Amino acid sequence: MTKFTLTPSLTRSRLVAVLALSSPLAAPLSYALTVNIPVTAPSNASTVTGSLFSLSIEQDRWLDWAQASNSSSRNEFFFNTLDNLIQITGEGPQIRIGADSEDHTDFNENIEGTELVFPDPTTTVPYPEATTIVVGDEYYEAVRFLPSGTHVIWGVNFGTDNLTAAVLEAQAIKRAFDSDAVKDAGVVLDFVEIGNEADLYGGNGHREKGFNISEYVQQWTDFAQNVSVAAGINSTSDVKFWGGAFAESSHSGSGFSPQGMFSNGILNSSEGKLIGTVSQHHYSGSFRPGDSGLLQDLMTKSTIRSNLTMFLPDISAVRSQGLDYVLGETNSYAGHGAPGVSNVAGAALWVLDYALFAKSGLGAARVFFHEGVGYKYNLIQPITLTRSTINASDLPEPLPPHVQPPYYAAIIAAEAIGNTGDAQVVELNVDNERVAGYGFFVGGTIVRAVFINSEAFLSTEEGERGSVHVDLEFGGESGPTSMDIKRLTIGHADDVSGLKWGGVSFETEDARPSGEQMVETVDVSSGFDIVDTEVVLLSFQ
């Protein structure tokens, strides 16, 4: 690790600001602001675990994620991406296996692997979900290839209104997790989810038009009565149900929302009492061909907050029932992401700010970022791809497994959280529309802070890159005097690769970090500079 000790009396950004102010013709390239950081955790600090960043995986191609092509060993690349996070926090992402293809899955005990039927790729959706998925026991047993200690949420088919299919899947799930192979692997089933985005059933053919929350609660309860027996879910078991998983929310007791489920009595039944967590889905928008200017829109601090705070009434309703709340499927733009937006460096800043605000501002237990083979918004592309994720054209040569820019957000959050198991996080009050900040506490004392400059510096821009100088205050208390600074270096917000976290790259053949770590050590009194499209992690001494 290379460390630089800097103790300037006047940093470059402050010098630029002074020069800019001294001339009426000079356009200021940098700005200064002061941020107060509490020394001890305030009462509104949220406990945050290493599994804050979790993954929702499209069910159809689950085996591509879990196992190697020969089916007798694990997908080493995907395993390594998870293990990197475990090595930092001691706790890996939770894995939800489900989504749209959850409601197209049937079980056949005679099937080895999966039988899949896909629609033709299009330029807008190069890697569509399968419309027919038939699976056997091997499909569920592949969880043994996940890292030890991984917690799993598995979805069963509710959309086709075929109770037999749901029960057969639940039985297969139980067999898998009861098997010696999965037990020896240390992989744990936490929840079963019945159906995906039932609020859309009335429009997508799964139910008649006008399907409402009252009908949903009745039908869900009927399914849960049978699925609970098949999966071994009861009042004394560790396995419970995820409830909800709606695509949108009415935020009211009369529509599809947590409030709607509760007001229609879902928790009154013995099956409803087996719900341990309520899941909601959310995307920041939907991509349509021809859309432009989306990257800065996605990254903008105020947009992230307005996109999430709408769920505060829902979260309050869930937590008042003593239940956990998760964003069980989320990502940037629905439809597998927007090209040049979801798959570029700026999306890493969005992912980081989005997840940390969901925890500190909303109290969400976890955020499950949705992934599918070839999806533009993936953190991880787990297998070799032969056609473009942007327009479905044939690639000149196969593209091997690789991480995408948003993966760095998960690494940064893991380092900020640490491995003590008692970390807390709070959003800092940063009076700047582009800069967000979060303080992390261990044992009630400030240990780290993350700052995100979401001003998009694009490859099309001319002129000098902007920056902000940040001075730190500790509320009149005796705060830390020295800090290490680690940076996510990014060429441009619209770059698809080339990111480095403190000098280290994860864009390697095996997803393991490569490069010499670079950390600056400075006096806290000097503050720090953060350029446009950059993340800074401060570790206080």
**Rounded (10°) angle between helices 407-417 and 345-357:** 40
> Over its length of 541 residues, how does the chain's per-residue pLDDT go in tens digits?
544 344 333 333 333 333 333 333 333 456 799 999 999 999 999 999 999 999 999 999 999 999 998 788 999 999 999 999 999 999 999 999 999 999 999 999 999 989 999 999 999 999 999 999 999 999 999 999 999 999 999 999 999 999 999 999 999 999 999 999 999 999 999 999 999 999 999 999 999 999 999 999 999 999 999 999 999 999 999 999 999 999 999 999 999 999 999 999 999 999 999 999 999 999 998 877 766 668 999 999 999 999 999 999 999 999 999 999 999 999 999 999 999 999 999 999 999 999 999 999 999 999 999 999 999 999 999 999 999 999 999 999 999 999 999 999 999 999 999 999 999 999 999 999 999 999 999 999 999 999 999 999 999 998 899 999 999 999 877 899 999 999 999 999 999 999 999 999 999 999 999 999 999 999 999 999 999 999 999 999 8
Q: Determine the 3-state secondary structure of 162 from DSSP.
A: coil
Tokens 């800019």 found at: 20
Using CA atoms in the order 324, 325, 326, 332, what is the torsion angle rounded to 10 degrees?
Answer: -170
How do residues 370-409 score in pLDDT, each as one tens digit?
999 999 999 999 999 999 999 999 999 999 999 999 999 9
Tokens of 9: 């009396």
Sign of the four-CA dihedral 408, 411, 416, 417? positive
Q: What is the pLDDT of residue 423?
A: 98
Tokens of 207: 């139910």
Q: What is the pLDDT of residue 16?
A: 36
- Apex 194 CA angle, 115 and 165, nearest 5: 45
- Tell me the C-alpha distance between 393 and 461, whole Å: 29
Are 449 and 383 contacting, i.e. CB atoms less than 8 angstroms apart?
no
Tokens of 152: 């799993």
Q: What is the pLDDT of residue 478?
A: 83
DSSP for 202-227, written as a single string: HHHTSS-TT--HHHHHHHHHHHHHHH
Instruction: Give strand ranges (E) for 195-308.
Output: 240-246, 275-286
Distance of alpha carbon 195 from its chain centroid, rounded?
20
Q: What is 2-46+426-540's CATH superfamily?
A: Golgi alpha-mannosidase II (2.60.40.1180)
Task: Provide φ and ψ at 432, rounded to 5°.
Answer: -155, 130
Are 27 and 420 contacting, i.e. CB atoms less than 8 angstroms apart?
no
**Strand 151-156 with 275-286, pairing:** unpaired
Count other Cβ atoms within 10 Å, centred on residue 464: 12
Cα atoms found within 13 Å of the Cα of residue 316, Cβ hemisphere only: 7
Task: Provide φ and ψ at 247, rounded to 5°.
Answer: -75, -35
Tokens of 383: 């297998």
Sign of the four-CA dihedral 313, 305, 380, 512? negative
Tokens 């090209």 found at: 339
First to last CA, the chain: 17
Task: Provide φ and ψ at 225, rounded to 5°.
Answer: -60, -40
Residue 389 identity:
T
Distance of alpha carbon 55 from its chain centroid, rounded?
6
Are 482 and 535 contacting, i.e. CB atoms less than 8 angstroms apart?
no
- Tell me the C-alpha distance between 234 and 231, whole Å: 9
- pTM of the full predicted structure? 0.94
Count other Cβ atoms within 10 Å, centred on residue 238: 11
Tokens of 73: 């060993």
DSSP for 306-342, written as a single string: HHHHTTHHHHHHHHHTT-EEEEEEEEEEETT--TTTT
Domain coordinates in residue numbering, the chain: 2-46+426-540
Q: What is the pLDDT of residue 28?
A: 42
* Cβ contacts of 206 within 8 Å, gap of 6 or more: 103, 159, 160, 161, 198, 200
Are 284 and 334 contacting, i.e. CB atoms less than 8 angstroms apart?
no
Q: What is the pLDDT of residue 288?
A: 75
Q: Which residues pair with 534 in a beta bridge?
A: 453
